[in-house]
Amino acid sequence: MTIADDGPAGGGHTELAWFLVFACWLLATVSALGALFFSEVMELPPCTLCWYQRIFMFPLVILLPLGLFPFDPRVVRYALPLAAIGWAISVFQVLLVWGVIPESIQPCTKGVPCSEVQIEWLGFVNIPFLSFLAFTTMVALLVAAHYRSKP
């Protein structure tokens, strides 16, 4: 199945770039809805670091589609910094959860400690790890879209 082009900037070499940005949006939206599911439906209180990661995840849900219709490859320029900063915060939290970074420099002791694991699947998949996976994939998709969209 091919995806037809709606925009004026369409063409063979941007077909894949569009799809990469679209995949990035899909991932951002699944992650944002997942985060909202954890906090609003399951009522798990988000820790401070989770809030910072949300700050860099949620805008992508709105920003990326604006670059998809019509396709504007420069959307990567605006989206990538958000994804990269979110990725850095997620790395920090994963290290905190794994105990690589000691508790003492943990920035959030009030409320929910960010090193506390509320959900764990298969013994190592927890919410911070999911966030790390999502940000890593999004950064990779955006970087790939950047190189693909160059004529």
Partner 1 sequence: MSRKSKRNEQPQPAAPATPARGGVSRTAVFATAVVALLAAFAVGAVAYRSHQSEAARQVAAKSASLLASTHAPLLGKAEAKVHIVEFLDPACETCAVMYPHVKKLMADNPGRIKLSVRHVPFHQGSEHVVRVLEAARAQDKYWETLEALFATQDQWTVNHRVYPERIWALLGGVGMDLERVRREMNAADIAARMEKDMADATALKVEKTPEYFVNGRPMPRFGLEELQGLVRDELKLAYR
**Which residues make up the interface to partner 1 (CB under 8 A)?**
1-11, 18, 22, 26, 29-30, 33, 36-37, 40-42, 65, 68-69, 71
Nearer to partner 1 by C-beta: 67 or 86? 67
Nearer to partner 1 by C-beta: 29 or 137? 29
DSSP state of 119: -
CB count in 10 Å sphere of residue 97: 21
- Candidates 131, 117, 119, 139; CA nearest to 30 is 131
Question: Nearest approach, Cβ of 43 to partner 1 (angstroms)?
Answer: 9
Q: What H or E segment, with its residue span, contains residue 78?
A: helix 75-98
Question: Nearest approach, Cβ of 111 to partner 1 (angstroms)?
Answer: 11
Nearer to partner 1 by C-beta: 6 or 103? 6
Nearer to partner 1 by C-beta: 9 or 125? 9
Place of tokens 């992508």: 60
Question: Nearest approach, Cβ of 10 to partner 1 (angstroms)?
Answer: 6
Question: Nearest approach, Cβ of 42 to partner 1 (angstroms)?
Answer: 7
- CB within 8 Å of 116: residues ≥ 6 apart: 47
Question: Nearest approach, Cβ of 56 to partner 1 (angstroms)?
Answer: 20
Helix (H, G, I), strand (E, B) or coil at 121: strand
DSSP state of 105: G
Nearer to partner 1 by C-beta: 22 or 87? 22
Q: What H or E segment, with its residue span, contains residue 100?
A: none
